[in-house]
Amino acid sequence: MNFNALNPTSSSLGFPTPIVMPVSQSPDPGDERGGGEAAERLEARVLHIVNGEHFSGAERVQSHLGRCLPEFGVTADFASVKPGKFHQMIGEQDGQWGRGFDVGMKNRFDLRAAVRVRDLVRENKYDLLHAHTPRTAMIAAIAASLARVPWIYHVHSPAARDSEKRFSNELNAWIEKQSLRTCQHLITVSESLRLDCIRRGCHEDNVSVVHNGVPAIRPPRETVPIVGGRWVLGMVALMRPRKGLEIVLEALAKLQDHDIVLRCIGPFETEAYEAEINQRIDELGIGDRIQRVGFTRDVPAELAKLSAMVLPSLFGEGLPMVVLEAMAAGLPVIATRVEGTPEAVTDGVEGLLAEPRDPESLADKIRQLVTGQYDWTEMAEAAFERHGRDFSDRAMAKRTMRVYRKVLDR
């Protein structure tokens, strides 16, 4: 690798131009689901740079990579710039996800974290940095240059559309754009995100799709699990406006003639948003149909209590981990038709797709499932089979390892 080439001429949007041999856009999955063949291996040490304050979708991707990459020879450790739940949970796993380091930033532009990452690279002889957010991309770009190692960036969702906070979106997109000038390769979690990166100036040879993956949880049950005569819909998320919780509440209010409850699994991002939701529940008069769980470390145990998963996202999610976890548990998924999700859920096969921001559309899809217009068992089996074929944690780790190999072989 010629590290003098870490500052190539970039496109007008700051995305990397092809500076080295290309990586294939979607590595062949091969035998990721197991079998008799010996696993491919790459002896390498990789430091993931993560935010670390939550334990939500992207953090579950990171935890599965930390757990599965060693099977393929890769040592994966984690440096958190905003130590919180994920950083805490790494410490509780007794090395099963790799080691965790605190390189905490005092604010968004505290670049001293890059020096701490550089020191970690030198002390632990890491071969590669792997960043996961705009903030960590900024740190990785500086640290990689200081330590003279390559770095890659994992696009979990479009930074420019990550929330309803316009200024925050624009700032994160600008940080991402500037940082990616020195990035060797991008991983996107969906084909829709890959195409988005190409539209914004990234050369197609420098971006690979590695779909998110989760471990299998359980085969589908033979009959729909209905608790006390009620359908139990579950929404697993870090509760924030982009997830569309208001939409499912309004849909539930339109289904008063059906015995359905909504189980809300996950913390609220802010107390203010939680207060807004509580007020809306009171206005709709559906308080007796809401079950509040909050944060849980055991998502599979919660999935076992559900009849179906619902995720009414307002806009693109990359490839939502909760959708894949529901499929891995043999649950039909009722989600919205936003970028990424249709790559896992085909309407009428593994689940049902409603239009985003449309409570009536979502209510109609829920009604179709609970009234038997679709066979629950067939849909549950299709979801479980699709997970095993395309979205296992081992498949994700193997494809990621192959991207590492291509970058390190340059």
Distance, in Å, from the CA atom of 27 to the CA atom of 209, rounded to the nearest integer, reads 8
Q: Are residues 201 and 250 located together in one domain of the fold?
A: no
Q: Are residues 204 and 177 located together in one domain of the fold?
A: yes
Distance, in Å, from the CA atom of 330 to the CA atom of 371, rounded to the nearest integer, reads 19
pTM: 0.76
Residue 176 lies in a domain: yes
Q: With a cut of 90, say whether residue 141 has pLDDT above it.
A: yes
Give me the pLDDT at residue 31, please. Answer: 44
Q: Are residues 264 and 185 located together in one domain of the fold?
A: no
The answer to whether 343 touches 319, Cβ cutoff 8 Å, is: yes
Residue 226 lies in a domain: no
Residue pLDDT, tens place only, 233-245: 999 999 999 899 9
Rounded mean pLDDT of 250-265? 96
Distance, in Å, from the CA atom of 277 to the CA atom of 142, rounded to the nearest integer, reads 40
Number of domains in the chain: 2
Q: DSSP of 180-212, one letter per residue?
A: GGG-SEEEESSHHHHHHHHHTT--GGGEEE---
Q: Are residues 126 and 240 located together in one domain of the fold?
A: no
Q: Are residues 87 and 123 located together in one domain of the fold?
A: yes
Structure tokens given for 58: 């992207």
Give me the pLDDT at residue 163, please. Answer: 66
Whole-number mean pLDDT of the chain? 87
Q: Are residues 52 and 162 located together in one domain of the fold?
A: yes
Q: Are residues 9 and 157 located together in one domain of the fold?
A: yes
Residue pLDDT, tens place only, 304-357: 999 999 999 998 778 888 999 999 999 999 999 998 899 999 999 999 999 999
The closest of 231, 246, 236 to 358, measured between CA atoms, is 246
Q: Are residues 183 and 251 located together in one domain of the fold?
A: no
Question: How far apart, in Å, are the Cα atoms of 12 and each of 16, 144, 317, 395?
Answer: 10, 23, 26, 35
Q: With a cut of 60, say whether residue 25 has pLDDT above it.
A: no
Distance, in Å, from the CA atom of 148 to the CA atom of 272, rounded to the nearest integer, reads 44
CATH for 322: 3.40.50.2000
User: In terms of residue numbers, what domain contains 236?
Assistant: 231-390
Count of CB atoms situated within 10 Å of the CB of 201: 16
Residue 222 lies in a domain: no
Q: Are residues 353 and 403 located together in one domain of the fold?
A: no
Residue 139 lies in a domain: yes
The closest of 126, 156, 155, 130 to 141, measured between CA atoms, is 130
Q: Are residues 386 and 399 located together in one domain of the fold?
A: no
Dihedral pair phi/psi, residue 352, rounded to 5° = -135, 145
Residue 365 lies in a domain: yes
Q: Are residues 374 and 281 located together in one domain of the fold?
A: yes
Q: Are residues 37 and 139 located together in one domain of the fold?
A: yes
